Structure 1
């Protein structure tokens, strides 16, 4: 029996005729003097209008075509968020070629996997560090990358490698071509069609090598329309481009939605300056993973604890009442407490200054996605006056499939299907989606594509259900549904996310498939636990040392006991180990989007898992650590087995 739901106004035949080129031309013609891109460089925000931005993209496209980029070929995009890298992605789309962004921290092995998928003829790199990576791969004979275009010139002045050129040189080549042939601009803008590629992304790779996912221009622009029609964003938003460029969430908002609805995209100077730059910009739309919202909350709380007695009293007077009111609303009860005069006073004295300090004073739409968010974090921001909402999606559907409405928020749901998206639950409890934003299959992987797509429906691999009111509930990955020896069904990721609701736990791995009890391995959050240790006078010399302190174990037990209250007795966690290092994507234990590679973790920590179940009091661990230099080291430690 199939259970289904479709958003009001949705249709599986809703076609989008626009292309990236058509929208770029429209924005340049009708809104040419509006700011399209703003990038901070050496402390100064530099602006580009839609007319200027369009000209740069066209010059880049013409230049890339001159050096051999054409349909069927790919261009690697490597680096942190930069305006020119975004422009490069659009230019590649105009040519009908594949723009393939990679995470800036990608290892050589990860990049070589991408190089084995498609014919990558060129790369656009942010700086010397990324250029060096590509040159190393090329020198090893593992790549056919002939041309490397770089944005930042520092450190590259004396490089004499073949095919290496600056962005400015590429633009010169392109402009020469555009000026020689008057019709060239118009031809480039209208060459690619809706079914031509927009972006070449990758699956998270939790169970193996990442699979290539090519999203068409119709896919990404439909997703942008679906998000807009669901009320996620409006026109002319101000946004901050800080999310990894290789993540579908960044492309969906910073490129597709920005192009269709003329956002002003603000690119921070560096990842390290995001908080300061966000305060200067004060975006109107903001999307962040739960971990980012948690970290901001920790920073706010730490700052208040270091404040004056009067400020602390004011903070707790207003904040405690606002949180209590929001908690009641979340549970379907009346708010009260601070309405309306108290709310105005709280806004002037506490809520407003906090929002201003963190660049959230103009936020109209704030979202979290990727995994579940903790109730404390969620309620805090709602109490602050930020209407934080959850959204649900994945790369295969161009990021957007279900969104919470501002005033219909429930912690356990991800909202209702966006207009243009149909949702159905199959007999196994798996969520199925249908929309023009769904991809056409994994790149050169027909078997995997056949498993993911059936009669136009995307099999998400997520277990869930639809409530009577149309709200979608996501439980976790279908492949991760497990059973204890007693036959109790559980989803490890569901419990792991709830452990991570604690600010002191960064990662967790829940164990117990086929066993009598559930246990867990956790990685503490070094920043949060380190600050707590300093405030409470707990000495430590390293992460490995701090993670094993008895005082820290007490913090962790509180988190475990809180989770145990929320699950049935057979699924309560009995014992845990605090690991001496974080799970790290460079060590292969998690993906670049911080999803657990369960098989790798279970193999690497097999001795720890055995000790959690054989009655041992402690276990010796020798854990692999990959350093930024590329060297591999080890952390060796005796870890106590702790009872919850």
Structure 2
């Protein structure tokens, strides 16, 4: 890989100055111009419940009065903990209306992580979703006497009817009390909104925290709206667009699309009933735009592979024919040229690839984005072959999640595109990606010294990522600078690049690759299997198993993964091919700090926790012992001594006559 540097380049001209407004003012405008337009809809008991812009604005005003009644003041921070529901955004806009900011907390956060965010933000009011989140906060209060939280407002009362703790209050009660205050002082809310300034902190998003505790990045209204304006300058969106919101609002990506673009362009947001209905609700809505991290696209591909493998010969043949035609057309389209027979391409789409898009809920997608981590080129190519206009984007929390993105007629599966309007990009002499725009954040909350490390005096954001510009001026992101390694032949490479090749297999959920420490050692990998696809394969092969640990230890599963790793190696330079691997006895878990809430691997934790396994891989041992607690479905658990097999690929060959599986199939 190249380490080519460049002078600063800018995005398309004409980005203009960021709009001088705030989210609450945008809501006021929408409520005045489209009072009966649907702002949000939530599915409850199988029925979509709409909320108009006028009702949305009224509830925000009521809740803002309610927060003021609890003493929330301008400049403070309100925390929100829970899944996406209308109440999440009502709380966010209400806090912003009175000059406060909101920090989102991932609903899966527990213990020390939860305490860290609440302490750093000094949040006195927490808006929590349901009994699960309330119980976490109650336990934290009992073990942390000096916790700053004074009030917890819950918006799903199910299971909380018998709770009589004065610390807790129902969301609707806050709204009711707020309505009484509004009636007594009808001009107060408008005056508070008028006091708001574009440079006020609107949202505080946590960083990914791959190497340390997450920091709290302060993003202003102006930061987020500059990003929204610049992105939609070449990827337009308007009030006819539908967007299904199912990723946590604590993630900058969801704040970017659902809130910043949602409010500035008047999108209709839809909230699925629960996690189990997300896919069917997505199909029912048929969104126009979608933004998801790689894990969502990878899981969609795995779903397609399983479904097609279970289909009959005729359906498999028809899909394979249509996919090949779609792939050729996509290759031409992404390079800005026409290709293939238009009639044949249309026919292939109608009978082959469109039904698959429809099953995934992507039949009406105009454009889709992926970000947060690199998406493997093979997965990227698959979606374009089935007719999904998927684009890679690049950014960080510190620049509102987006700075670089593909254009429709210039998509490369190995790059992340070019800067959006209003954004400057430069590669430093040591290969670091530097960014500058109106969307660069205000700084880390209460950590000015950390802010100074990432934003220099000229306003350049030092991303910590290594990259270069290819011959077409598109950005190629290699990896975090500290994780870029040098192969024995002197070329620079990224463990993440190899891991993405491995994760293209439908049977691989996560892969962590380790470089050699001395000459002669091969690349090694620790792999976790995908329990869904491997379980389906095992059933087809009539293999019985009890737990994930049992399945991962099967000799047949090792042989299955050996072929998958060997196939991945065929696409890699010889100097960075994986020579040995093991299948981990458990999945990587954010609750164990092994991956972040956005599923980025915490390498420092992996290196420390699995040091013995990594050492055995590098030595070339046949197996390595580990102590683990196994939990069964009935809730019982037992501590077991396990011997994990280490598979050496130097003596493995793919059985003769076995062709390479197609991209869209898991069958060998």
SS at match of 1:620: strand
1:135 aligns with 2:138: yes
Q: Which residue of 2 aligns with 1:320?
A: 324
Q: Which residue of 2 aligns with 1:494?
A: 497
How is 1:113-512 mapped onto 2 (pairs within 5 angstroms)?
113-140=116-143, 141-231=145-235, 233-327=237-331, 335-336=339-340, 339-454=341-456, 455-483=458-486, 489-512=492-515
Instruction: Out of 1-10 and 220-229, give the one that drifted further.
Output: 1-10
1:245-300 deviation digits (Å, cap 9, x = unpaired): 21100111111110000000001111111011111111111112222112222222
1:79 aligns with 2:82: yes
Q: Find the partner of 1:97 among 88, 97, 100.
A: 100
Equivalent pair of 1:230/1:403 in contact (CA under 8 Å): no
**Residue correspondences, number:** 641
1:4 aligns with 2:8: yes
TM-score when scaled to structure 1? 0.94
Equivalent pair of 1:619/1:641 in contact (CA under 8 Å): yes
SS at match of 1:93: helix
SS at match of 1:27: helix
SS at match of 2:120: coil
1:531 aligns with 2:536: yes
Change (3 A) 1:248 1:631: farther
Distance in 1, matches of 2:90 and 2:66, equals 13
Shift of 1:322: 2.1
Distance in 1, matches of 2:648 and 2:14, equals 51
Distance in 1, matches of 2:332 and 2:547, equals 41
Change (3 A) 1:99 1:470: same
How is 1:488-637 mapped onto 2 (pairs within 5 angstroms)?
489-512=492-515, 514-516=517-519, 517=521, 518-623=523-628, 636-637=641-642
Distance in 1, matches of 2:111 and 2:634, equals 12
SS at match of 1:317: helix
Q: Which residue of 2 aligns with 1:638?
A: 643
1:11-38 deviation digits (Å, cap 9, x = unpaired): 6x82331111221111111122211011
Shift of 1:487: 5.6
Q: Which residue of 1 aligns with 2:60?
A: 57
Q: Which residue of 2 aligns with 1:14?
A: 17
Distance in 1, matches of 2:129 and 2:606, equals 32
Change (3 A) 1:270 1:161: same
Distance in 1, matches of 2:639 and 2:171, equals 41
1:32-52 deviation digits (Å, cap 9, x = unpaired): 221101111111111111111
Equivalent pair of 1:16/1:222 in contact (CA under 8 Å): yes
Distance in 2, matches of 1:43 and 1:408, equals 41
Shift of 1:308: 3.9
Equivalent pair of 2:82/2:105 in contact (CA under 8 Å): yes
Instruction: Out of 508-517 and 117-126, give the one that drifted further.
Output: 508-517
Distance in 2, matches of 1:624 and 1:435, equals 49
SS at match of 2:443: coil
1:33 aligns with 2:36: yes
Distance in 1, matches of 2:53 and 2:570, equals 54
Distance in 2, matches of 1:172 and 1:628, equals 43
1:55-83 deviation digits (Å, cap 9, x = unpaired): 11111111101111112322221111111
Shift of 1:623: 4.1
Shift of 1:333: 8.4
Distance in 2, matches of 1:550 and 1:402, equals 44
Shift of 1:242: 0.2
Change (3 A) 1:520 1:94: same
Instruction: Out of 437-446 and 423-432, give the one that drifted further.
Output: 437-446
Distance in 2, matches of 1:331 and 1:220, equals 31
1:171-216 deviation digits (Å, cap 9, x = unpaired): 1111111111221232132221111111111111111111111111
1:590-630 deviation digits (Å, cap 9, x = unpaired): 11111111111111111111111223111112246899999
SS at match of 2:466: strand
Equivalent pair of 2:516/2:618 in contact (CA under 8 Å): no
Distance in 2, matches of 1:633 and 1:85, equals 40
Equivalent pair of 1:522/1:578 in contact (CA under 8 Å): yes
Distance in 2, matches of 1:383 and 1:196, equals 44
1:348-395 deviation digits (Å, cap 9, x = unpaired): 323332222322221111111222223332222212221111111111
TM-score when scaled to structure 2? 0.91
Distance in 2, matches of 1:625 and 1:467, equals 48
Distance in 2, matches of 1:331 and 1:564, equals 27
SS at match of 1:621: strand
Q: Structure 2: state its 5+ residue gaps.
A: 650-668
Equivalent pair of 1:236/1:261 in contact (CA under 8 Å): no
Change (3 A) 1:70 1:520: same
Shift of 1:327: 4.7
**RMSD across aligned C-alpha pairs, in angstroms?**
2.3
SS at match of 1:190: helix
Q: Structure 1: state its 5+ residue gaps.
A: none
Equivalent pair of 1:232/1:403 in contact (CA under 8 Å): no
Shift of 1:634: 5.2
Distance in 2, matches of 1:563 and 1:355, equals 26
Q: Which residue of 1 aligns with 2:51?
A: 48
Equivalent pair of 2:101/2:204 in contact (CA under 8 Å): yes
Instruction: Out of 252-261 and 226-235, give the one that drifted further.
Output: 226-235
SS at match of 1:45: strand
Equivalent pair of 2:97/2:189 in contact (CA under 8 Å): no
Instruction: Out of 561-570 and 123-132, give the one that drifted further.
Output: 561-570
Change (3 A) 1:230 1:402: farther
